[in-house]
Amino acid sequence: MTQSQIGLIGLGTMGAMLALNIAEKGFPIAVWNRTVAVTHGFKAEAGALAEKITPCETLADLVAAIKPPRAIILMVPAGQAVDDMIAALRPLMAADDLIIDAGNALFHDTDRRSAEAAVQGPHFMGIGVSGGEEGARHGPAIMGGGLRSDWDLVAPVLNAIAAKYKGAPCADYMGPAGAGHFVKAVHNGIEYADMQMIAEGYGVMRDGLGMAAAEIAETFNVWNQGPLQSYLIEISGEVAAAIDTHSGKPMLDMILDRAGQKGTGRWTVIEAQHLAATIPAIEAAVMARNLSSRLEERLAGEAVFGAAPQVGANVTLTQLEQAMIAGKILCYAQGFALISAASKAFDWPMPLPEIARVWREGCIIRSSMLNDMATALTDDPARNLMLAPFFADHLKATHGGLRQVIAAGALSGLPLPALASGLAWFDMMRTGRSTANMIQAQRDFFGAHGFERIDGLADKHGPWSGHGI
């Protein structure tokens, strides 16, 4: 029997789709699932691709079926399941074999597993995979972290299965240890913010302008032909146009407004706080998801304070499109700034332009803007993206619309947390003389923390009596 070139563990939806993608690209693959019937059923349903698939009933069979040096992809739930699988594989694999965690792992876990692998073997990599079920099957975006030599070993397979942008694979090496999973977490944080801003725009149209779902769908479709062209805007148009087969009403009107999450956005926010990186649009998006789950409290709040006016927001669709353009630029700028902060803090030489290029196809946040972002980051990777001439010009042209939308939302009682947070960040970023001098004076007054003077004098304390506690 011809030995497989790679192995895969975990034939859930994502694992099964990824395995079919690998087989379709011509790579023989050995697969294992803890339920043996699932393993054999997967091959039986693979059609013409079945000849490339070797189902294995035990982990020992799986390891034996792969040509050395072996590489095995884990598609199992993040956390303890990954550690358990590594422990089960370790005695079966050679020191120069490779285990690849392709799930949504916390990057700190990937750092720890990489350090353990350096001592105990086999080699270990963490790769971020974005694109959902469709991407896994037909081409995801892939962000690799670990040893460069390990990436090079499996790059032929990963480049082949990745999405393509004008023929270039949307897969690349991000840096050591947990770098790939960190970039994937930031990707997901941007995804949270982008989705929240789109939801806020939908809310302005539905509740502030009284537009029907079909009109909203058409607006999204028009926006998708301009600067906002992206996967999320595209599917938002399709979602708004869909009709519920049971009630005959717009599908959106039948969906409970309680959004789920798997935690990656929360990880991004927590890590940003550790790194002192400012990502308020992403923080607001995570907050909004958390608050959406508190349906009973929201209904109680509406009963006490009354519902916001349903129609009457003083805003145009042109201004709303401008607000969405500005908000999108700002949330991406925050995300790339967070990656830059991590690169410095963890000594990861992460290639910001290549990250933008990897995200151009296959992933959930793919957008026409990413090509221009890649260019801007190539020109000056240390510069905040909002200051790059291309995006600065866009912001100059659109932040007025963003202000109008947020003002109309505030006056109408329409919640716009991500858009408003993005604008507040923008205004702080463009303010040369902020109000932090007041904070420093307060800190010195109650705690004698001192301050810097604008005239350079050495006196670091104010002339107050010192009523600190």
The residue from 43, 184, 200, 271 that is catalytic is 184
Quickly tell me which residue has 């990489």 as its tokens. Answer: 114
Residue 256 and residue 261: Cα distance in Å, rounded? 15
SS3 8: strand
Cβ neighbors of 115 (< 8 A, separation 6 or more) are 177
Residue 7 and residue 54: Cα distance in Å, rounded? 9
Residue 387 and residue 340: Cα distance in Å, rounded? 15
Question: Could you tell me if 366 and 458 are in contact, meaning their C-beta atoms sit under 8 angstroms apart?
Answer: no
Residue 445 and residue 262: Cα distance in Å, rounded? 44
184 is catalytic: yes
191 is catalytic: yes
Radius of gyration of the chain (CA): 25
Give the pair of three-digit tokens for residue 409. Answer: 């939302």
List, in sequence order, every residue forming a beta bridge with 1; answer none if it has no partner.
none
DSSP assignment of 219-239 equals: HHHHHTTTTT-BHHHHHHHHH
Give the pair of three-digit tokens for residue 56. Answer: 């294995």
The residue from 191, 200, 271, 321 that is catalytic is 191
CA 232, 238, 239, 240 dihedral sign is positive
List, in sequence order, every residue forming a beta bridge with 402; answer none if it has no partner.
none
Residue 382 and residue 388: Cα distance in Å, rounded? 10
Q: Which amino acids are annotated catalytic?
A: 184, 191
